[in-house]
């Protein structure tokens, strides 16, 4: 089940991103064998959550801030570190394939670097 955000988006660009996000989530769902990788990018940080949609649980997350942070910023180099750590954690849980959810963001730059780094480290996306 996809949850729609409450209220109105502040800007037109945010509204377009939310519309794209909902359209993507209609088609993409994860399960225990093949979880969904949901990526979020801000101006300072990158966060990737590994989600099992059937159980409605987040298995784990990798980000550039917090306790178990990957040392990096929101740039391509930091995204490559996040992707490598993501692949390492997926392998530790014996998961070799995943579904990618770009969260309404363009598949370009930082978002692309996360996915390509995970693929280089042996995860099939």
On the question of pLDDT at 115 being above 80, the answer is yes
Task: Output phi, psi for 101, to 5 deg.
Answer: -115, 110
On the question of pLDDT at 1 being above 60, the answer is no
pTM of the full structure: 0.86
SS3 17: helix
Q: What tens digit of pLDDT does each residue of 43-74 get?
A: 999 999 999 999 999 999 999 998 888 988 99
Selection from 3, 43, 10, 17 nearest residue 105 by Cα: 17
Q: Which domains does the chain have, with CATH numbers?
A: 31-120 (3.30.420.100)
Output the six-digit token pair for 39: 């990526």
96 — pLDDT class (breaks 50, 70, 90): very high
């Amino acid at each position: 089940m996809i949850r729609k955000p409450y209220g109105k988006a502040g800007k037109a660009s945010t509204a377009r991103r939310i519309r794209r996000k909902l359209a993507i989530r209609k088609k993409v769902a994860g399960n225990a064998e093949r979880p969904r990788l949901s990526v979020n990018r801000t101006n300072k940080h990158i966060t990737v959550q590994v989600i099992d949609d059937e159980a409605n649980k987040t298995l784990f997350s990798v980000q550039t801030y917090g306790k178990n942070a990957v040392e990096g910023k929101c740039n391509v180099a930091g995204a490559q570190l996040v992707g490598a750590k993501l692949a390492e954690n997926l392998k530790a849980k014996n998961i070799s394939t995943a579904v990618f959810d770009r969260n309404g963001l363009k598949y370009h730059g930082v978002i692309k670097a996360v996915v390509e780094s995970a693929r280089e480290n042996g995860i099939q996306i």
